[in-house]
Amino acid sequence: MQVLKQPTVSVIVPAWQSEKTIGRCLDSLWNQTFADIEIIVVDDGSTDSTREAVRKAADIDSRIQYHYQDNKGVSAARNLGIEKASGKYLMFLDADDYVRKDFVEKLVRVMTRIDGCDMAVCSYDRKIHGCLVPVERLIRGGKRSCKRYLEETLIDPGHHYFGVVWNKIFRMEIIRKHNIRFREEITLGEDFVFSLDYLFFADSVYVINDREVVYCYQQKSSLSRIFTKKPDDCRDEMNNRNKIFKVYMKTLEQIGVAQKYRKKMYQYWIMFEIHQMYGLKHEYDWDNDVKKSWKKEIMANPFIREAHRFFSDREVASLYRRYALGQAVRRRIKKAMTIFEVTRGRG
């Protein structure tokens, strides 16, 4: 009987209605400079031709596996991928996105050469209206303890850089030993909770500043890309944040830094409030009574009420002004990018 060689890396790709992008995603994986990988695509109940696109790719590259499940969400898809994975290391990629040729090689190199390293993180580019926009650099490169890394997440715990799993590599031994899985009851921000659960058992983290992933912001087909928000969308976000924050607070308490960084922790909620207040004023096309009702719900949230114990009205107003300015700048940039893309398309 032939004994199959264990791959070094398992890359899990959850896919839903991804017929237009899955080919590009898989192409970026099978062209990696590090070839010892298995690519596990979990189709989360697609009704388009995602299945055909993946199977066509699998006929060309035997490293690609296709698995189907009824539509249960991205967490369930990733969990099925973990069950099917056999690699020493685990990585993720969304079907909308793609990676540079040395993505896997660079992160594996860190895990194999840096003593005690249990997770590595890279940076990425956002692709907006066809233009690549580098993500801002949040923390310096190099090795740090997991405790230090968790303290660094307080810079902006809601930021994609810390929250997502597709710019990271994990050690499968830790995941198996402690039965770490995505929490399927959390439907937004589930990546961050997975990372928090993992980091509790890890030793150290290594950060590289290379931008190895292209995050295609405008092409997202997942629930994370809601362009016209309804009250229930905002309510769902707040309910998920409640669950995430409880895990985050517990993790920081377990490593002994929660009391020291209490105010920074609660800024997470102040920024959510600010985002919602800005949305009510400038973005949400809702009835006035609905707006008033949602505002009351926000201010009744116990975490937001607790956050106001640490922040004065003056501090909140200052943070709001800064956020509003940032939004104005982003709108101008997006408008310029849109004009550039249209002009380029006509050329």
The pLDDT of residue 344 is 65
On whether the CB atoms of residues 252 and 150 are closer than 8 A, the answer is yes
| Segment holding 71, helix H or strand E | none
Q: Which DSSP symbol is given to 110?
A: H
On whether the CB atoms of residues 125 and 133 are closer than 8 A, the answer is yes
| C-alpha to C-alpha distance for 277 and 279, rounded to whole angstroms | 5
Count CB-CB contacts under 10 A for residue 285.
Answer: 8
Residue 132 pLDDT level (bands cut at 50, 70, 90): confident
Which is nearest to 206 in space by CA: 250, 263, 142? 142
Which is nearest to 276 in space by CA: 325, 220, 332, 229? 229
Is pLDDT at 222 greater than 50 in this prediction? no
Residue with the larger pLDDT of the pair 128 and 333: 128
**Least confident piece of the model among 45-49, 148-152, 293-297, 334-338:** 334-338
Q: pLDDT tens digits, residue range 105-125?
A: 999 999 999 999 999 999 999
Residue 308 is encoded by which pair of tokens? 């106001």
**Least confident piece of the model among 68-77, 181-190, 209-218:** 209-218
On whether the CB atoms of residues 120 and 39 are closer than 8 A, the answer is no
| C-alpha to C-alpha distance for 347 and 343, rounded to whole angstroms | 6
Q: pLDDT tens digits, residue range 22-76?
A: 999 999 999 999 999 999 999 999 999 999 999 999 999 999 999 999 999 999 9
| C-alpha to C-alpha distance for 63 and 342, rounded to whole angstroms | 38
| C-alpha to C-alpha distance for 124 and 215, rounded to whole angstroms | 7
The pLDDT of residue 221 is 47
Residue 2 pLDDT level (bands cut at 50, 70, 90): very low
| C-alpha to C-alpha distance for 205 and 107, rounded to whole angstroms | 11
The pLDDT of residue 330 is 77
On whether the CB atoms of residues 264 and 154 are closer than 8 A, the answer is yes
Is pLDDT at 3 greater than 90 in this prediction? no
Q: What is the pTM of this model?
A: 0.90
| pLDDT above 90 as % of the chain | 84
DSSP-assigned beta bridge partners for residue 206: 120, 143
Residue 315 is encoded by which pair of tokens? 């501090």
Residue 133 is encoded by which pair of tokens? 């926009």
The residues spanned by each domain of the chain are 9-219, 231-346
Please list, in sequence order, all residues whose beta carbon lies within 8 angstroms of the beta carbon of residue 324, skipping any fewer than 6 positions away.
Answer: 278
Is pLDDT at 85 greater than 60 in this prediction? yes
| C-alpha to C-alpha distance for 347 and 345, rounded to whole angstroms | 6
The pLDDT of residue 136 is 80
Mean pLDDT of 76-103: 98
The overall average pLDDT reported for the chain is 92
The CATH number fitting domain 9-219, selected from 2.20.25.570, 3.40.50.300, 3.90.550.10, 3.40.190.10: 3.90.550.10
- Please tell me the total number of residues recorded for the chain in this structure: 347
Q: pLDDT tens digits, residue range 140-162?
A: 999 999 999 999 999 999 898 99
